[in-house]
């Protein structure tokens, strides 16, 4: 009994230590971004917004940020449409090799990103898609589709098909029942999957290094190059902006996920 009573406390302590280990870099990067020094120093001697002013005043940083947002937006649309369609097929349809198709769709989650990046590099080089907006969008879409498929498959698996069948029984056409009954109920899951697809593209750096060239540099790639070429607190400012943006999207995903669970529970 004593062991059982102490087990939850031990689990919480380990979880807390792991969480602290994961968040510790953030507690270092954020203060450095407000440093007035000309170099990276923790803790900073004095606080200043000079590096944020430098970030928003630099054309190359803003261009990389806007380019990342454009790519992530396109990836969100493509991955959400393709992943949702795949999820409907996996849940509703019956066809030979369905489990194999599901495994293949999830393979980008299993295969190391560096392997995927090398494979895409040789493929896209033949298709002349290196250093292009379209090539980067396609590459990031391949990474984002599995996340969308997993979320929508779980949501559709818990969906009460009787609701859709009732609409069909009342004379609704299949597409109308899908649009007015099914999609509104799974809409929070679709929104969550779309946000995750956006983050997958916006934060990705390995494939961007291989696929994006000088004309298609994303913000993570620009930050990676800045570490090698010029180590200044401006990189910390860019990192803090990305962290804040990511946290906001993760909070939005959590709220949507909770709403989706409540709808499924009903």
> How many other CB atoms are found less than 10 A from the CB of residue 208?
25
Q: What is the pLDDT of residue 1?
A: 45
In a domain, 14, yes or no: no
Please provide the average confidence, as pLDDT, over all residues in the chain.
Answer: 81
Dump pLDDT digits (tens) for 117-158. Answer: 999 999 988 888 888 888 899 999 999 999 999 988 888 887
Distances (CA, A) of 52 to 29, 46, 74, 222, 246: 13, 15, 27, 16, 18
* Domains in the chain, number: 1
Give first-to-last CA distance, the chain, whole Å.
Answer: 37
- Closest C-alpha to 73, from 141, 149, 150: 141
Domain assignment present for residue 39? The answer is no
- 164 within some domain: yes
Q: Retrieve residue 15's tokens.
A: 């979880």
| Structural element, H or E, at residue 35 | none
Residue range 157-194, pLDDT digits in tens: 877 677 766 776 776 677 777 777 777 778 888 888 89
Q: What is the CATH number of the domain that holds 160?
A: 1.10.3720.10
Contact 187, 257 (CB under 8 A): no
Is residue 2 in some structural domain? Answer: no
Domain-located, residue 47: no
The CA-based diameter of the chain, rounded to the nearest angstrom, is: 72
Percentage of the chain lying above the pLDDT 90 cut: 13
For 177, the domain range is 55-265
User: Would residue 177 count as lying in a domain?
Assistant: yes
Q: What is the pLDDT of residue 59?
A: 85
Task: Please check whether residue 116 lies inside any domain of the structure.
Answer: yes
Please check whether residue 51 is in contact with residue 237, taking contact to mean a CB–CB distance below 8 angstroms: yes
Which pLDDT value is given to residue 4? Answer: 47
> What is the per-residue pLDDT for 211?
87
CB neighbour list of residue 203: distance below 8 Å, 6 or more residues apart? 220, 242, 246
Residue 257 lies in a domain: yes
pLDDT of residue 76: 94
Range of lowest pLDDT (8-12, 63-67, 69-73, 139-143): 8-12
CA 89-72-236 angle, to 5 degrees, is: 140
Nearest to 113 by CA among 193, 26, 203: 203
Three-state DSSP class for residue 47? strand
Give long-range contacts, CB 8 A cutoff, 24+ apart: 50-53: 51/232, 51/233, 51/234, 51/236, 51/237, 52/237
- Checking if the pLDDT of 66 tops 80, the result is yes
184 neighbors 95 (Cβ within 8 angstroms): no
């Amino acid at each position: 009994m004593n062991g059982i009573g102490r087990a939850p406390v031990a689990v919480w302590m380990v979880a807390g230590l792991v969480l602290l280990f994961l968040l510790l870099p953030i507690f270092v990067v954020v203060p450095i971004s407000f440093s007035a020094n000309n170099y990276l120093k923790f803790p900073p001697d004095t606080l200043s917004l000079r590096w944020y002013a430098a970030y928003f005043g630099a054309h190359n940083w803003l261009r990389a940020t806007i380019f990342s947002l454009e790519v992530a937006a396109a990836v969100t649309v493509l991955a959400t449409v393709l992943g949702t369609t795949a999820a409907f097929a996996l849940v509703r349809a019956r066809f030979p090799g369905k489990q194999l198709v599901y495994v293949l769709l999830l393979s980008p989650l299993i295969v190391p990103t560096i392997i995927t990046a090398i494979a895409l590099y040789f493929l896209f080089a033949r298709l002349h898609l290196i250093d292009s907006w379209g090539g980067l969008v396609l590459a990031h879409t391949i990474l984002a589709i599995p996340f969308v498929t997993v979320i929508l498959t779980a949501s559709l698996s818990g969906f009460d098909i009787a609701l859709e069948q009732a609409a069909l029984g009342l004379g609704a056409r299949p597409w109308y029942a899908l649009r007015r009954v099914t999609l509104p109920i799974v809409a929070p899951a679709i929104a969550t999957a779309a946000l995750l697809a956006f983050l997958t593209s916006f934060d990705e750096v390995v494939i961007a290094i291989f696929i994006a060239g000088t004309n298609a540099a994303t913000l993570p790639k620009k930050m990676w190059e800045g570490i090698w070429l010029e180590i200044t607190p401006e990189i910390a400012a860019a990192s803090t902006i990305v962290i804040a943006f990511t946290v906001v999207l993760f909070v939005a995903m959590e709220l949507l996920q909770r709403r989706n669970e409540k709808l499924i529970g009903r």
